[in-house]
Structure 1
Amino acid sequence: MKQKIIVIGGPTASGKTALALKVAKEFNGELINADSRQIYKYLDIGTNKEVKTEELKDKNYRRSARSEQSERRGSPQTLSDMTIYSIEGIPIHLISFLQPNERFDVYSYQKEASELIKDIREKGKLPILVGGTGLYIDSILKNYQFEVGENSQELDNLSLENLQELLKKQTPETFENLNNSDKNNPRRLARLIQKSSSTTKLSTPPLDINKYEVIFLYPEYNWDKLKEKIKLRVDQMIREGLIKEVKEVLNLGYSKDSVALQGIGYREVLEFLDGEIGAVEMEEDIVHAHIQYAKRQKTWFEGKGRNYKLIKVNKDNVIQTLKDLGL
């Protein structure tokens, strides 16, 4: 029997998170982030982590039996074993877990999200994938197949000492620049080894065979109102301290070339800080970039070639819609 999951995708500023929280509260769900910008630490304002995420304090929260058994065996730490954050008491995974200079490809997302879906289902809860990164969502729904280097397939079986020695051998400078916590984090070491020793690419074509029973919810929106919402959101980001956020990340020692700082909003602020553009132009450029991104998302999700079965909902009818579907 296929595992049931909810997917909530759509353009930026269309209200995905609000829908996801409402569904999770009604149907005992947990969220899995599918936004490629919200995976980074320290970057909250510019990535619009819509409500403040906090470390989950609920002592009754438990991981799946599979994760707990893995930990007892001393297996390398997986992302599902890491700090869990919550929004309004609802656990959310794959958010704020990477440094701004770390890369995280679609293969890595598929691997971690698939593991989390299993973990959440094993607890008798409903996995809810929410975000606007189409490739992340596609990798799950269409069961993308990847060609991965041999070394990365074997890393899970290596001890901490073996991982340390392997990284030292491959890229000694990278190892020496790690802090003590990272040097003793098997998952972190494995990611760095995989990045330096293997290539990961999508097999052609994807299987396009869904191993999940998917309900794809798509927020109803008016395009003109969405553009106005984006303008207001950007204005709010700047007032709440977007420029200060960028300065703080730079003060932590991260380069302007860090992958997370190349995203919408951050690259424009960097241009402003470098004196290349003024404050007004910076804000206009950020708004324009977000609107163009929303257009691309709209094309991705609504395009006929994707073959998504979108169920358009709003905050008033989403719960009844799901009940009518037998959830």
Structure 2
Amino acid sequence: MPNYDLIAILGPTASGKTPFAAALAYELDTEIISADSRQIYRGMDLGTGKDIIDYTVKDKQIPYHLIDIAEPGYKYNVFEFQHDFLNAYETIKQKGKLPVLCGGTGLYLESVLKGYQLIPVPENPELRNRLADKSLEELTAILKEYKTLHNSTDVDTAKRAIRAIEIEEYYASNDLSKREFPSLNSLIIGIDIDRELRREKITRRLHQRLDEGMIDEIKRLLAKGISADDLIYYGLEYKYLTLYVTGKLSFEEMFAQLEIAIHQFAKRQMTWFRGMQRRGFNIHWINASLPIEEKIEEVKRLRMI
């Protein structure tokens, strides 16, 4: 039987990975490390799909890590995620438990499953000032001079594009000494959900979260002093709901554009995961429609192979 260091649960939005990971953690008496780039922010709950209730299984609260660890407006990055992941991972391992990593942010998942050697990239005020007046189209063209754009998220807003250029410029002009990151033997489980079912669940969940007060959440964040640009930076719900709240979009325009954007996001997530397979990751796909008990049994079987 392989001696796994970690079980990773990945899948696109609305695939049901979080309740499955929580049920698995309950069965294995262990804890969950989140790999979601937006759930780290306090007060950003409905828009990120935090669903803390999913971490309660049979009246037991499943311990979780890397949720609600930063203030909204802060620009958390993958280097910080690696650092925080290792702290959480070592905490769980010291208890003699097998950590469960769960999320849909492909870069975060891959950075720890493969052990990317990353270093933090500091801000470059001179470069930022030089780029401040350029249009998004101009910034995109500049970024393309550094690399082929595989992920449109880098150029979703001018602020994102400037940060991406800043990172690429740093990589191009510095001798990057490598940081040690442990090699983890990970059992990787993918939640495979039918595309049409995924689309139905995304639309239903969007209606539900709007009914639960997602617009009020945006208003509260703005009232706390988080700028509209900072919220837009986080994309998806925060982008389109902020545009609605600030009068840039009608409700109907917001809903239609956001629904399309979430569907496109889920498709990009699956593209990333398939890319991980091409890059050598062994992902064991489990049908999302199976009962949770059957999913758990399949994970147990895979652990024994």
**TM range, normalised to the smaller chain?**
0.7 to 0.9
Whether 1:100 aligns to 2:72 is yes
1:242 maps to what in 2?
214
| Distance in 2 (alpha carbons) for counterparts of 1:277 and 1:260 | 13
Task: Give me the TM-score of the superposition, normalised by structure 2.
Answer: 0.73
Q: Percent identity?
A: 34
| Distance in 1 (alpha carbons) for counterparts of 2:54 and 2:232 | 19
Whether 1:301 aligns to 2:273 is yes
1:321 maps to what in 2?
298
SS at match of 1:95: coil
CA apart distance, 1:319: 1.8
User: Structure 1 pair 147/298, CA: closer, same or farther in 2 (3 Å)?
Assistant: same
| Distance in 2 (alpha carbons) for counterparts of 1:311 and 1:50 | 25
| Distance in 2 (alpha carbons) for counterparts of 1:121 and 1:3 | 12
| Distance in 2 (alpha carbons) for counterparts of 1:262 and 1:322 | 33
2:114 maps to what in 1?
142
| Distance in 1 (alpha carbons) for counterparts of 2:210 and 2:43 | 16
* Letter matched to residue 32 of structure 2: L
| Distance in 1 (alpha carbons) for counterparts of 2:261 and 2:242 | 15
SS at match of 1:145: coil
CA apart distance, 1:116: 1.4
**Deviation per residue, 1:190-237 (Å, 9 max, x gap):** xxxxxxxx9786999x99x97111111111311111011101111111
**Deviation per residue, 1:11-66 (Å, 9 max, x gap):** 10001101101110011110001000111010101111123489x9xxxxxxxxxx
Task: Give me the TM-score of the superposition, normalised by structure 1.
Answer: 0.69
**Deviation per residue, 1:116-142 (Å, 9 max, x gap):** 111101101121110000110111011
Aligned counterparts, 1:116-265, within 5 A: 116-148=88-120, 211-258=183-230, 262-265=234-237
1:155 maps to what in 2?
none
How many residues are matched? 248
| Distance in 1 (alpha carbons) for counterparts of 2:231 and 2:8 | 26
2:37 maps to what in 1?
36
SS at match of 1:219: strand
Gap runs ≥5 in structure 1: 57-86, 152-197
| Distance in 2 (alpha carbons) for counterparts of 1:38 and 1:134 | 14
Q: Aligned-residue CA RMSD in angstroms?
A: 3.0
| Distance in 2 (alpha carbons) for counterparts of 1:201 and 1:123 | 38
**Deviation per residue, 1:244-269 (Å, 9 max, x gap):** 00000111111112257632111111
Match of 2:285 among 302, 312, 315: 312
2:145 maps to what in 1?
none
Contact 1:101 1:259 in 2 (8 A): yes
2:255 maps to what in 1?
283
1:69 maps to what in 2?
none
User: Structure 1 pair 210/224, CA: closer, same or farther in 2 (3 Å)?
Assistant: farther
User: Structure 1 pair 148/267, CA: closer, same or farther in 2 (3 Å)?
Assistant: closer
